[in-house]
Homo-oligomer: A and B are copies of this chain.
């Protein structure tokens, strides 16, 4: 495909930089690998009907008062008064099947809210990366990958995931990238590919979670392609896209 006809895929490192990048894109992919978007993918894969992402603890509490299961995480911990935070395993609870769940997290749900002015918002993680990329390649739209980061700062794990998505789309020969952030993300992602755990050993957020004894969660979030659910935002709720993905690795 001639370069000029190609769609663009670019990586934005932080919600605070979203306004600099958002022009010319029709799809935003929001990523918060540790752990919000991994948990959202796990939940919809395991039967949660829809997830309402909210920015504040107060909003999550309102939904809780209305009788909805509600999850709230701040600084890696479950907020007092809530049943769960953003552990992916909590989102696989069979009792949540068919239910609508409210969720607020330190970074991920904020990034989803910021991206919600985009025509289409989908949720990405390492856990759904192959299905997500297969779907994105079919859309013929410009794609912006928004890393949630940590309190508006750059983080490594989201960058690795974003770079891997950009790489896969460019490999399809239907996308190109212009921004230095995308070049850097691709580069970091390729370098981390061989052993993502050792690559992230020094990362700030992994250290943070390690202190909280969340190694099982980290392991789950950093293992690619355990699910095929692609959550997307519709009327303020995250639901599972209808998309039949035939994964080679999952076949």
User: Given A187-B188, A188-B184, are A20 and B204 also a contact pair (CB < 8 Å)?
Assistant: no
Residue of B nearest to A21 (CB): B153
In the complex the two chains form, is A20's CB within 8 Å of B180's CB? Answer: no
Query: Would you call A106 an interface residue if the criterion is a C-beta within 8 Å of the partner chain's C-beta atoms?
Result: no
Chain B nearest CB from A166 CB (Å) reads: 13
Q: Which residues of B contact A152 (CB under 8 A)?
A: 17, 20
Which residues does chain B contribute within 8 Å of A188, judged by CB atoms?
A: 184, 187-188
Question: How many copies of this protein are present in the complex?
Answer: 2
Q: Take A17-B16, A152-B20 as given contacts and tell me if A178 and B204 are in contact as well, using a CB distance cutoff of 8 Å.
A: yes
Q: Mark A13-39, 1 if CB is under 8 A from B, else 0.
A: 110110011000000000000000000
How many A residues touch B, CB cutoff 8 Å? Answer: 27
A155 is an interface residue with CB less than 8 A from chain B? yes
A13–B13 touching, CB < 8 Å: yes
Q: Are A203 and B187 in contact (CB under 8 A)?
A: no
Binding site for B on A (CB under 8 A): 13-14, 16-17, 20-21, 150-156, 159, 178-181, 183-184, 187-188, 191, 202-205
11 further A-B pairs in the complex, CB-CB below 8 A; given A159-B184, A180-B204: A13-B154, A14-B17, A16-B16, A16-B20, A21-B153, A150-B180, A154-B179, A155-B180, A156-B183, A180-B203, A183-B202
